[in-house]
A = this chain, B = another copy of it.
Amino acid sequence: MEGVDYLSDERQKAQFDVEAMKVAWAGSPQALQLSNRMANLVANDPAFEKFTRPMMGRKELLKNTLRKAAHGWKLIVDLRLTEEAKWLRLYIDEPAYTDLHWGMFIPAIEGQGTEEQKKKWLPLAQKMQIIGCYAQTELGHGSNVQGLETTATFDPQTDEFVMHSPTLTSSKWWPGGLGKVSTHAVVYARLIVAGEFHGVHGFIVQLRSLDDHSPLAGITVGDIGMKFGNGAYNTMDNGVLRFDHVRIPRNQMLMRVTQVTKEGKIMQSNVPRQLIYGTMVYVRQTIVADASKALSRAVCIATRYSAVRRQFGSRDGGPETQVIDYKTQQSRLFPLLASAYAFRFVGDWLKWLYMDVKERLAANDFSTLPEAHACTAGLKSITTTATADGIEECRKLCGGHGYLVSSGLPELFAVYIPACTYEGDNVVLLLQVARFLVKTVSELGYKKPVGTTAYMGRVASLMQNNCAVQTAEGWLNPGAIVEAFESRAARMAVRCGRQLAEFENPEEGFAELSVDLVEAAVAHCQLIVVSKFIEKLQQDIPGKGVKQTLEMLCYVYALFLLHKHQGDFLATGYLTPKQASLANDQLRTLYSKVRPNAIALVDSFNYTDHYLGSILGRYDGNVYPKLYEAAWKDPLNDSDVVDGFPEYVQPILKQKLRTAKL
């Protein structure tokens, strides 16, 4: 029935103040209010309906996205939204060219443009009189920026750069917004002056006419085709771009760091090149924040549906058992719930880290940069991997119905997974972390490790101490947990360092041991997430039972990791099998404690049904009637008899296939 809350019993079980938890999740009462306002603005505007999206053909789909983007921009302008604009775009929940315009094109100019360039281009971009994208990757070149092939050759005769795509593999490939919408792009190309290569730089290039939108002379541009999923990222016009000797004025090279003069002289400004790492810290911090959003959506859907769904265990003809009561379900679902919270808080901490790095950079203090860079690279990697896997796990936790697009989970998965690849492939990033860890270990004798590697300073004791936990309750101790994770990470890093030392050629050793190095990097990054969760709990968190509930989740997160990776903890000799087993016992107990709070914990994310986009995850739990209703909206149900029956089915039934035209 409409208007009935089928999950109200579940909500009454909660042992904490849900409204206060909402504040804790949002970050502040103000953030909650703002986010709430934008979420409801979108949810209540029929222009942003998204149910029919997966059924649309590609053209219709993109046109629909253009309409939504225009409507969203109109709202932003009309309502004079500033900070809120990004929330609005978030809740519209549809990848669009605007993501790249605001998220990459404008920041690239802000970060790499001179004052003059910023003055010229930013106002145009901020009013959307031009629409831009970020054209870096090429058909044959992804992570390795130095391998890009596109050339920008300086022509001193005309004071221009000639942009050119010398090979097929040099075609720009993947940039979002490039294919069908952007009028401009920041294009990364090899700077060639007087026949010499001077590194890869960004250039502002106009691609399309501002009047009729047709591609300019010498420019071949289009969409690269369908991607994973139904709607998903197919609302984005990821593009292909080739240049045939396209000329741009010299002043469209972004020259904040490197300048080319009229005479073809290369000059380096005194702007520190490390600035680029500051930007990477920023971008990856937003990716970690997005991971917690995506994972929490999936967990919200799976948790609510696990309370609705019943299976087996009926006694005397009574109702079957709610699947959320099965330990097998809890052991897969609750660690993901805990991970969503863990990633939320480590994301917050990363925001702080970025501010800290920014301040230091402004004061020419680069000392924490390598550590901050390694730490954000690693957190980007482990949170996005866990989220991608976690969304698919949530889908499986919904049984067969999770496979329906109307569950919301297939789309959420398909739209999320690129995060494991973009802004640094997750394995490549872990190798960077490993490189930093090994360096940290090798320099311990004379260089004090800082920030998230500070624990390495206590390496001697971490190599020797053994775990003191003797009971399952003994694991409910932040000190014991942090020490376990520190010891595991330190021992794995030191071990890698020792193995590397056996190689004559360090690079060969690094290549040969890369798998173990990746494992050591994961151990270090998991330690960071666990520690930051624990640090968060040392703060004041208002609201009845809120802090206690978060403590419970923190233990679930840590002990789940400990069990999953018990091989590491045992192999390094820090834990005995008995202690690992006690941790597992405690984990089981914790699941029972999470159980009554589960629905309230996902309610605390404060997601609207529109944003969730899932029948299984409906707030009111009224799943089956709505699934049934939704089925009839499939185009196949427009008629009782299917298109193609007379041509392709009837001849079979009537044994007249031989004469049928197929």
Contacts and interface: CB of A to CB of B under 8 A. Distances in A.
A431 to B, nearest CB: 7
Interface stretch (A19-27, A294-302, A323-331, A469-477): A323-331
A637 B331 CA distance: 47
Contacts of A513: 327
A447 interface: no
A479 interface: no
Given A224-B631, A229-B229, A631-B240, A328 B431 contact: yes
B59 A57 contact: no
A67 B225 contact: no
Nearest to A225: B634
Contact of A57 (B57, B66, B210, B403): B57
B421 A399 contact: yes
A444 interface: no
A405 interface: yes
Given A169-B624, A327-B512, A571-B581, 20 more contacts: A70-B660, A71-B662, A73-B657, A74-B657, A78-B658, A139-B624, A168-B625, A168-B628, A181-B642, A212-B641, A214-B640, A224-B404, A227-B403, A237-B642, A240-B628, A328-B514, A400-B421, A410-B414, A515-B588, A571-B577
A137 interface: yes
A276 interface: no
A570 to B, nearest CB: 4
Nearest to A240: B631
Contacts of A59: 635-636, 638, 643
A183 interface: yes
A632 interface: yes
A228 interface: yes
Contact of A142 (B54, B57, B223, B311): B311
A630 B67 contact: no
Contact of A328 (B57, B69, B515): B515
Contacts of A638: 59
A314 interface: yes
Interface in A229-247: 229-230, 233, 237, 240
Contacts of A573: 577
Interface in A542-590: 565-573, 577, 580-581, 584, 588
- 3 tightest Cβ-Cβ pairs between the two chains A and B: A567-B567, A566-B567, A228-B410
A268 to B, nearest CB: 23
A267 interface: no
Given A327-B511, A577-B571, A130 B399 contact: no
Contact of A644 (B58, B67, B227): B67
26 contacts: A62-B642, A63-B642, A70-B647, A73-B657, A74-B658, A74-B662, A77-B658, A127-B655, A129-B655, A142-B311, A143-B312, A168-B625, A174-B400, A181-B642, A213-B640, A222-B631, A222-B636, A223-B631, A224-B631, A228-B230, A228-B405, A230-B230, A326-B514, A328-B514, A399-B421, A566-B570
A425 interface: yes
Interface residues of A, number: 136
A633 interface: yes
Copy count, this protein chain:
2
The A interface is mostly helix, strand or loop, or mixed, namely helix
B179 A147 contact: no
Contacts of A108: none
A642 B58 CA distance: 12
Given A62-B644, A70-B649, A571-B577, A400 B427 contact: no
A645 interface: yes
B222 A637 contact: yes
A417 to B, nearest CB: 7
Nearest to A662: B71
Given A143-B311, A327-B514, A405 B225 contact: yes
Contacts of A501: none
A454 interface: no
A230 B222 contact: no
A180 interface: yes
A218 interface: no
Contacts of A271: none
B129 A653 contact: yes
Interface in A504-550: 511-516, 518
A211 to B, nearest CB: 9
A572 B567 CA distance: 11
Contacts of A431: 328
A656 to B, nearest CB: 11
A355 interface: no
A384 B643 CA distance: 34
A648 interface: yes
A342 interface: no
Given A230-B229, A400-B418, A641 B214 contact: yes
Contacts of A77: 657-658
A8 interface: no
A82 interface: no
